[in-house]
């Protein structure tokens, strides 16, 4: 039997760029992990003894402030080991010790939450009149929005025994299936090539080949990904079915009227605002079709298939090495704001980024805020493409946002998903504009424009496609019971064809590609937030161009506020009204302008 070779390392110029997690804990064996969890449990037990029933009896505003300060401290201490375990698991999902630590910290975390859950439930039980007196009290100004947001879920809370039971069972329910999905996808082995030249790569490496200038390479990589997905179809489809049904159970128990209602509430956004966003994007699908008609002409292809979407316009453009990406992104942020540049420099100098490509590592990219007493960490898979430089800029935007928002404390430094994508996409535009400004060659400018358009399409229109697919998946699961992949594949193709029309021909193989998308598994209905964030940033960038330096401190102040205000209030100082149904048109018009610019450059070259 022939032995297949795993891809030799280094696989990119980012080889060796690995994060240093010792600011959290020294190692998987660090005794501080169990010590912190044990101490947090003891503090939580004392907290319960001290405060159970006292909200109903009538705490003073100052006493409630002291209780919230103590609660915040306990939450940060109990979550810190979980964050560390999640990062360890992401860097190598195939290491059983990492998986065991993740499970252990989640179980201990759940045990601690059992002693804290009463406080939030008792807060929800207060009458609106009493709650408002607390919310308006000057002593509680720091925690005002946390208190407001907690009460949004009041109509959907269960009894304390029910809430405790759901939290306990999640470790062997939803969280267990989420971990299983991550490990299965990260460990997926993609076979590229045949005979002695055949090699095994991970999913991210295989997907990166869709950007290869050679059509046969793209087609072969797409077929290899499809084959791997088919080989894992039974397990992954079962995970999808289980978690979609778990979502329905939660909706039924908590009396949420629609599958997306809980996400809207968590995002602090009105359903009609999301409907307006999605409708505007769907009406803008013609932008996507016009662009891909242009790309088909530039590539000289009679038919543009799904595996051709990310083909480079020109095959002789240079790669973007890690050192170049680091310099470009750092300068883009520094030109915008010296403070932002200082923070980005820290990420590079202090090894807060893991960019190396390796088997077993989680795919994609993310920035983990961890806890305010430490700092964020970034994971990505850098494959020397210009697109990877934009991903680096994107994740560093998240990192800056998380870094700056530490001052508002652990209970409020996380932002709703809608504004969580603001700083990341803004960083992408800064980097894109810097690259474009430094390039005079028309061919290179056209290539950059095409890259940016395709990134924007992936962030805006594709995310609406994913959301529509997710809606149909949840509807079908509720109406028909457990679904097979053969039933789900057409839902995926239907949602995607609505965007591409006749501009891109989707193969039957592409029908399987919903199987690896983690957002569906980990955060249901996350995806529309990407479109929200990108269109928001396109509008904000135009404000920056008109206001100049006066815009920068206002923008950084918004980032520093984290989640201490609702999105509409947070964005008001920047002159943004997200509840205006016409708000999204400014961003869509910006994209139309980029397509026109690409068409003009195409005529030149």
Coil, strand or helix at 96: helix
- Going by C-alpha positions, the residue among 294, 316, 305 that lies closest to residue 216 is 305
Quick one: which of 294, 543, 523, 572 has its CA closest to 416? 523
428-365-310 Cα angle (round to 5): 65
C-alpha dihedral sign at 513, 281, 587, 419: negative
Which three-class secondary structure state does DSSP give residue 454? Answer: helix
Do 156 and 254 meet the contact criterion of CB atoms below 8 Å apart?
Answer: yes
CA 124 vs CA 127, 131, 143, 201, 496: distances in Å? 8, 8, 15, 50, 42
pLDDT score of 584: 87
What angle (nearest 5°) sits at the alpha carbon of residue 359, between those of residues 355 and 363?
55
CB 65 within 8 A of CB 139: yes
Q: Quick check: helix, strand or coil at residue 289?
A: helix
Beta bridge partners of 435: none
Domains defined for the chain, CATH in brackets: 21-172 (1.20.140.70), 232-350+385-605 (1.10.1370.20)
Q: What is the pLDDT of residue 348?
A: 98
- Computed from CA positions of residues 331, 335, 338, 339, in that sequence, does the dihedral angle turn out positive or negative? negative
Report the alpha-carbon distance of residue 11 to residue 18 in Å, rounded.
Answer: 14
Q: How far apart are CA 385 and CA 312, in angstroms?
A: 10
- What's the pLDDT at 417? 83
Residue 361 to residues 11, 213, 292, 380, 434, Cα–Cα distance (Å): 13, 26, 33, 9, 31
| DSSP bridge partners of 199 | 5, 192
To which residue do tokens 């359903």 refer? 271
C-alpha span between 297 and 443 (Å, rounded): 15
**β-bridge mates for residue 379, sequence order:** 354, 366
Average pLDDT of every residue of the chain:
93
Residue 57: burial class (beta carbons within 10 Å; 0-12, 13-18, 19+): exposed
Task: Determine the pLDDT at residue 10.
Answer: 47
β-partners of residue 5 are 199
Give the DSSP per-residue string, 121-187: HHHHHS-HHHHHHHHH-GGGGGGHHHHHHHHHTGGG---HHHHHHHHHHHTTTHHHHHHHHHHHHHT
- Output phi, psi for 431, to 5 deg: -70, -40
| Rounded (5°) CA angle 340-458-399 | 20
Q: In the block, which residue shows the tokens 């457990």?
A: 482
Q: What is the mean pLDDT of each run of 10 residues along the chain (605 residues)?
A: 45 92 97 97 98 93 97 98 97 93 95 96 95 96 96 94 93 94 92 85 90 94 97 97 97 96 93 93 96 95 96 83 95 97 98 94 93 97 89 96 97 89 92 86 88 92 98 98 98 97 96 96 94 90 92 96 92 86 86 94 88
Q: Is the pTM of this model over 0.75?
A: yes
- Residue whose C-alpha is closest to residue 40's, from 109, 95, 143, 137: 109
- Specify the pLDDT at position 4: 45
Q: What is the pLDDT of residue 2?
A: 41
Q: φ and ψ at 267, to 5 degrees?
A: -85, -5
């Amino acid at each position: 039997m022939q032995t297949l070779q795993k891809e030799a390392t280094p696989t990119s110029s980012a080889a060796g760029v690995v994060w240093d997690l010792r600011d959290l804990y020294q190692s998987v064996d660090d005794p501080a992990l169990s010590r912190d969890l044990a101490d947090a449990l003891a503090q939580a037990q004392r907290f319960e003894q001290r405060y159970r029933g006292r909200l109903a009896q009538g705490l003073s505003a100052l006493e409630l402030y002291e209780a919230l300060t103590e609660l915040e401290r306990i939450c940060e201490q109990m979550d810190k080991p979980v964050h560390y375990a999640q990062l360890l698991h992401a860097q190598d999902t195939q290491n059983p010790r990492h998986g065991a630590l993740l499970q252990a910290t989640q179980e201990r975390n759940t045990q601690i939450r059992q002693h804290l859950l009463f406080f939030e439930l008792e807060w929800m039980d207060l009458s609106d009149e009493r709650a408002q007196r607390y919310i308006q009290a000057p002593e509680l100004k720091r925690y005002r929005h946390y208190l407001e947001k907690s009460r949004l879920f009041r109509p959907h809370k269960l009894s304390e025994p029910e809430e405790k039971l759901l939290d306990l069972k999640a470790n062997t329910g939803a969280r267990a299936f989420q971990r299983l999905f991550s490990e299965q996808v990260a460990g997926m082995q993609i076979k590229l090539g045949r005979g002695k030249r055949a090699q095994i790569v991970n999913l991210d490496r295989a997907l990166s080949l869709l950007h290869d200038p050679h059509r046969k390479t793209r087609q072969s990589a797409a077929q290899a990904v499809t084959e791997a997905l088919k080989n894992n179809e039974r397990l992954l489809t079962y995970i999808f079915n289980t978690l979609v049904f778990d979502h329905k159970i939660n909706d039924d128990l908590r009396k949420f009227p629609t599958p997306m209602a809980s996400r809207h509430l968590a995002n602090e956004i009105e359903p009609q605002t999301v409907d307006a966003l999605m409708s505007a994007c769907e009406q803008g699908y013609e932008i996507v079709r016009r662009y891909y008609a242009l790309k088909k002409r530039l590539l000289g292809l009679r038919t543009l298939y799904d595996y051709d979407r990310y083909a480079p316009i020109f095959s002789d453009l240079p790669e973007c090495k890690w050192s170049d990406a680091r310099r470009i992104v750092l300068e883009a942020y520094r030109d915008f704001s010296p403070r932002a540049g200082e923070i980005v420099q820290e990420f590079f100098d202090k090894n807060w980024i893991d960019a190396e490509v390796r088997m077993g590592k989680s795919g994609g990219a993310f920035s983990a805020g961890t806890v305010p007493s430490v700092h964020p960490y970034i994971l990505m898979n850098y494959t020397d493409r210009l697109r990877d430089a934009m991903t680096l800029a994107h994740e560093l935007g998240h990192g800056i946002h998380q870094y700056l928002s530490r001052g508002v404390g652990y209970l409020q430094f996380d932002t709703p998903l809608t504004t969580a994508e603001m700083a990341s996409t803004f960083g992408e535009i800064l980097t894109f504009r810097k690259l474009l400004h430094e390039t005079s060659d028309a061919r290179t400018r056209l290539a950059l424009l095409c890259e940016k358009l395709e990134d924007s399409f992936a962030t805006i229109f594709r995310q609406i496609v994913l959301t529509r697919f997710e809606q149909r998946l949840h509807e079908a699961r509720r109406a028909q019971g457990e679904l097979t992949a053969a039933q789900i594949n057409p839902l995926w193709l239907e949602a995607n064809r609505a965007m591409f029309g006749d501009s891109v021909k989707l193969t039957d193989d592409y029908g399987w590609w919903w199987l690896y998308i983690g957002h569906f598994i980990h955060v249901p209905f996350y995806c529309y937030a990407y479109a929200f964030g990108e269109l928001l940033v396109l509008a904000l960038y135009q404000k920056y161009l008109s206001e100049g330096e006066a815009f920068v401190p206002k923008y950084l102040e918004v980032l520093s506020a984290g989640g201490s205000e609702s999105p509409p209030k947070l964005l008001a100082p920047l002159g943004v009204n997200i509840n205006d149904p016409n708000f999204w048109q400014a961003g869509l018009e910006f994209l139309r302008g980029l397509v026109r610019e690409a068409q003009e450059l195409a005529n030149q070259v």
